[in-house]
């Protein structure tokens, strides 16, 4: 199973440069067999720009997740705490193999009835 994640363009760049090794989320996938994450760069790009495989997902309190991942999360502690404010659980998706597409995919041409996911959406096939 694959998913599409909406990610801000500045964080997409950090992922593909190898500077951001964890993608933080308030919610993670309900299905346990997700292997590939397609990266949808949100506005103004609005295209699928690449993908990565998942090494593991860390789910714990925000303070524990920060202590494990902070050197490789690509954001400041303030950004992290602001994002998870009021949440008892934080998730960090550890990024494994990364592939940046030579030609970004226009999702509406590849996926019928595509709408940009607020968080993520499942995709049962490769693009």
The domain of 100 spans 2-57+92-123
**pLDDT (tens digit per residue) in 29-62:** 999 899 999 999 999 999 999 999 999 999 999 9
Choice between 69 and 32, residue whose per-residue pLDDT is larger: 69
**pLDDT score for 125:** 87
**Residue 18, by phi and psi: left (phi above 0), alpha (psi -120 to 50) or beta?**
left
**pLDDT score for 74:** 95
Q: Is the pTM of this model over 0.85?
A: yes
Total structural domains within the chain: 1
Q: The domain spanning residue 16 has which CATH number?
A: 2.30.130
Asked whether residue 70 is domain-assigned, the answer is no
Measure the CA–CA gap between 112 and 33, rounded to whole angstroms.
23
């Amino acid at each position: 199973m694959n998913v599409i994640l909406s990610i801000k363009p500045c964080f997409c760049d950090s992922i593909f440069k190898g500077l951001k090794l964890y993608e933080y989320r308030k919610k993670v996938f309900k299905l346990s067999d997700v292997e590939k994450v397609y990266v949808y760069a949100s506005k103004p790009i609005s295209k699928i720009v690449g993908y990565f495989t998942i090494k593991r997902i860390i789910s714990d309190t925000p303070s524990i997740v920060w202590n494990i991942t902070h050197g490789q999360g690509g954001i400041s502690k303030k950004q992290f705490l602001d994002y998870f404010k009021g949440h008892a659980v934080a998730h960090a998706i550890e990024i494994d193999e990364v592939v940046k597409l030579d030609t970004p995919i226009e999702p509406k041409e590849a996926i019928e009835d595509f709408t940009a996911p607020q968080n993520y959406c499942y995709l049962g096939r490769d693009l």
